[in-house]
Each structure stands twice: as C-alpha cells, then as structure tokens.
Amino acid sequence: MGTEKMNRMKELVTVLNRASKAYYAQDSEIMSNYEYDRLYDELMELEKETDVILANSPTIQVGYEAVEELPKERHEKPMLSLGKTKSREELRDWLSGKEGILSWKLDGLTVVLTFFAGKLAKAVTRGNGEVGEVVTNNAKVFKNIPLSIPFQGELILRGEAVITYSDFEKINDRIENVEAKYKNPRNLCSGSVRQLNNEVTANRNVMFYAFSLVKADGMDFENSREKQFRFLAKQGFDVVEYRKVTPDSILDEIQNFEKKVEQYDIPSDGLVLLYEDIAYGSSLGTTAKFPRDSIAFKWADELRETVLTEIEWSPSRTGLINPIAVFEPVELEGTTVSRASVHNISILRSLKLGIGDHITVYKANMIIPQIADNLTKSDSVPIPELCPVCGKPTEIRQVNEVQTLYCTNPSCEAKKIKSFTLFVSRDAMNIDGLSEATLEKFIGKGFIHEYADIFKLDRFEEEITQMEGFGEKSYRNLISSIDNARQTTLPRLIYSLGIANIGLANAKMICRYYRYDLQEMLAARVEDLSEIEGVGEVIAGTFHEYFQNEENVEQLKHLMNEITVVTENIEEAEQTLTGLNFVITGSLAHYENRNELKDIIEGKGGKVTGSVTSKTTCLINNDVTSNSSKNKKAKELGVRIISEEDFMAEYL
C-alpha cells in the first residue's frame, strides 16, 4: 500500500507541475481548474497519510518561474500562497472568536509596488513567490494607479492587476484569429502585465486593486488592517472591496458576496479572510507554504450531472479544430447551459470522454461553463482523422505540453474565413448579421462551402434558430439582409470575390473600361487589363489569374444564380472627371460622408486615393488653412487645396 501511495504521489506531482507550468508560465491550459484542485487535494491527503512531501511537490512550491525576457528581482518578503477551504463554517471557526477582514479574491496577476518620496519606483510580479519580474514601466500605464502619492516615506504594497470581463470581451472581439483569442481574463492580464512594450499594456485597460500593505515608514495603524486599507485609499489606490466581519456576521457577509459575484465585472475566484488584529496574525507565523494570518475561501461550485450527447469539432481559419462538448441542458447559476469548450486534445483525453457518458458540469468563477468530471470515463470519443469541413486529413500537434488538432488542407473552407468576411462586408455584398465569429460557426457546421451557400442559409432555419446567440428574430433579420443583398452592382460583386490586389476602386475602373460586361471581363487578357489607367501589370495579373481558375469560375456561376446584377448606364458625356485624381479629408457639409462624395467622383470617371502624391489633382478639405499632414504634403508638392464648395462649383 505504501508503494502504491508513493507512486501515486509521484504521478500527481508530475501532472500538477505540468499543468501549473502551462497555466502560469505559458498562459495555456492542459486541464480544468476543477480537475487541478481535485488532484491537488488528493496529493495533500496522501502527504498527510504518508508524512512524506516530495522535493518538487506543488504543495511546497509557489507560483510560476519568472520568464527570461524581463529582469528578475527578489522580493523583500517571500510571497506565500494561501491555504484554502470551501466550507463556510470552517471559515467562521478559523476566526477563533476574533474580528476579520473579508474581501474578494481577485483572479489576475499579483504585483508588488514600491514608492519612494511619493513616486512609483518599482513594480514586480509575484513570480515564484521569492523572485518576480520587474514590470515598472507597465505598471505606470495601469488605468487607475497613482504615480504620485501624498506619503513621502518608503511604501510597499501588494495588489492584483486585473482586466474586467467587459474589457476582456471587447479585446477578444478585436482578435480575428480564433485560437489567438484569450481563454479567460486572467490569461489576458498576465500577458498584458508581462509585456516588453508597455504600449500594449496601456491598450489593455489593466486595473490595479490593493489588498495588502507590506511597509509604510513611520506610520502607526493602531494594529488594524482596516486602517491600513483606509490609508491606502487616501493615497489614491483602489482597494479591494472588503467587509469587517465577526464569527456572528461572517456567514451573512459571505452570502452577500455570493449574490454579487454573478454580476461582478472584476474576475474573482473566491474570497480572502484575514485577521483584523495585525499583531495576532503575525504571531501565528507561517507553514512552509501558507501564512497563518489569512485563508482563501473558494466558492463551492454548483455541479450538475448531465449526459454528453456530442463532441462538436469547430475548425478555424488557421486550421485549428477545437472540441466542444454538447450535453443535455442543465440549469447552472440561474441560466440554462448545454455546451462547454474542452479547449484541446490534452483536456479531452484527460477527461476520458465518450458519447453517452455521465458528466458533471459547473461554471468556472460562476461564469464560464466547464466540465468538472466524467463519471463514466468510457474514453471512446474518436479524434477526427478528417476535417469536418473539407474532409481532408487532420494531424495532432504538440506545443508546450498541449496537444491540439489541425486540418492540413491549405484550401479548407474554414481557412477561407477572411474571404467570406470580405464578401459580406459593407463595400462588398453588405450583409448584416454575419460577423466573422458567426461565419466561422456556420462554416464549421457545414452550412457554407462557397459564396452562393450564403444565399441558401434558409435551408438551415431550424439549426440556426437553436444555436447559441441566435433566435427567431435574429434569424429573420439575417435572412432579410441576405435577400436585400441579392441585388448588387458589378463593381461590388467583383470586389466581394476577394481577388488579390483588387479593391473597390480598381473594380470600378475595370468595370467601366469593359462597359460593365462581365463576360468580356472574364475573357480579358493581361495585356489589355494592363492598359487600364490605374491598374498596371500586377493587378492585371492577379485579376486574369483568378478567372483562369476553373473552380473560381464555377463558383461565380453558382453565385450568379442567386443574385441580380443591376445594370449601370454610363453616358460618356458624364465622364467629366476621367483622368483626375482626388484626395478627400476632414468633415463634409454637403455630403453624408466621404464615401458618398467618393462614389460621385468615381461615377464621373475620377479616382479617389488615400494619400497626396504628385499625381493628385487636388485635395478636398473644408479646412483649407489647417496644418494637417495631408495639407502640409499638398503644399510641399504644389497640389491645390480646395473646399467642398469649390469642388462642387468647379468639377460638378
């Protein structure tokens, strides 16, 4: 039995250290937090039973190792992690009849700040608890940190750098690459604080909340933690929200925090309780890993048992194929959930999933649905050998202990997400309701393989209306937008095809040259295309090459069966701006926006560019005397600067 326990301990130490390294140092995950906590607790029990702690056990090691890119520095006092409990009664008993301070346990990156003479002198991450990374320049651009404070002595404090859920969603929405999106705010915050370029940090809206005063020269806080918090608040710091508690009031206060956490915008994975009496807490000392003056309380996750019905494999445009667990719907934290990301092959295999397995699910931090455990462990989910979108072979790749599945086909429709995104954009087919994320879901489910399929989405009404984020109303709005796009112009159609180097302006030039005859354009030779003013050999070459591809021509035929191209009647007498080049800048008074004026100019044969060059006929700017860069460039090159009214009087 002793040998079995020792072997199990060694196995747990290896697995937990791998998971910890992936999570803290590499900002990735190979197992869920729930699974990590379960294995960690199992290891602690075995250590108690055997009275043995292995040298590399995570129960005596703290945090991640500092990466090489940033300077390292040793902390003045070691930063220990906290002991934890999920029992409210244990938290109450821990107070031993004394007063305590109960606060949020924020889920970000711990940073230590040092101030000298009222100025921020140094910021260091927690690192491994003894040595952290110097991130002073990054801390200076935290959104709410005071760089100058009234207190002039040496001040050292600890706090949590965090990114709110709302900012996390906004930042992730701007990331086009699906697998580059951050899994949670903690990962995003960790990567933001540990940047070499603090401009990146500044753009991430990192916030700092103080939770501990380490040193304040010459100050007497009358043995009160609360007075320390109040002192920090007077210096301009945002202090973590807290409540003063007694054994009689703590259970009610825990319940108040619990009610608030569901709507709390700052990531929190529990609460922290520390003694109000500073001297008493200090007198208790520490264990090898934990201080005895404070303890962490983790929310007891609301678990629901359900049945796994499907593993959905969702491809992205870079080839990454993500597994998503679909299960019988259950109520969790007040909402109905039926799906949870499994993230990667490593987590899928560690859970030993199989269709029909009984699983337990929860919401991480009471927010994000996750699989907690697999009660059946049939381990029968096959890893797809073929991509669910294109049917070509897949392969498993491993980076930093994490295995992920990829499609190997460079022509996979899922990898063409950019082209579909361009196709539905405002200057192309102008279809609302098809964001890149929605397109990716539709492509992943096999609804869309080519452009024409977008106009046949009504075939999947039942499936779409049941998708997360879609209902009857949003489906109807989408179909209406698609129907409105069935009538378009030839330049918009050509631009929407995503031909390399062909912008809307180039498409208009080519269409005008061939008098809006699509068949003539398809048969055009490179030599003829090159003669069009503003086109040139490169654009002519890519245009010709696109229509020499039989698959492209075939897909265009399919598309033409779904749309109507509105014929534009071009009168030669109206082409009064042929050969003239314009640049538009600043606000307009007579036109709704610059695009409206641009359309008028191009409709009369002119060209609108984004920058002033020697070929520019004139710069249109209502603020003729401004010192803008375009005005300066125009003056340098001797290009006329005219107002909107001047343009209308002279050229229209």
Structure-token match 């100019």, residue found:
601
Q: Which whole-number Å values give the CA distances from 293 to 100, 225, 272, 287, 409, in the listed order?
A: 10, 11, 11, 11, 57
Query: CA 295, CA 311: separation in Å to the nearest integer?
Result: 39
The span from the CA of 342 to the CA of 71, in Å, is 35
Does residue 482 sit in helix, strand or coil? helix
d(CA 557, CA 61): 64
Query: Vertex 299, ends 294 and 305: CA angle to 5°?
Result: 150
Rounded CA-CA distance 343/436 in Å is 20
- The answer for residues whose C-beta is within 8 angstroms of residue 175's C-beta and 6 or more apart is 181, 182
CB atoms within 10 A of CB 391: 10
State the Cα–Cα distance between residues 321 and 319, nearest whole angstrom.
6
d(CA 315, CA 272): 40
Tell me the C-alpha distance between 19 and 373, whole Å: 17
Which among 10, 105, 415, 441 is annotated as catalytic?
A: 105
Torsion of CA 130, 133, 138, 139, to 10 degrees: 10
Q: Strand 581-584 relative to strand 618-620: parallel, antiparallel, unpaired?
A: parallel
CB-based contacts of 321, cutoff 8 Å, min separation 6 = 313, 314, 315, 384, 387, 388, 394, 404, 405, 406, 407
- Among this protein's residues, is 392 annotated catalytic? no
218 and 173 Cβ atoms separated by less than 8 Å: no
Q: Are strands 84-85 and 294-297 parallel, antiparallel or unpaired?
A: parallel
394 DSSP β-pair partners: 407
Report which DSSP code applies to 361: E
Provide the annotated active-site residues: 105
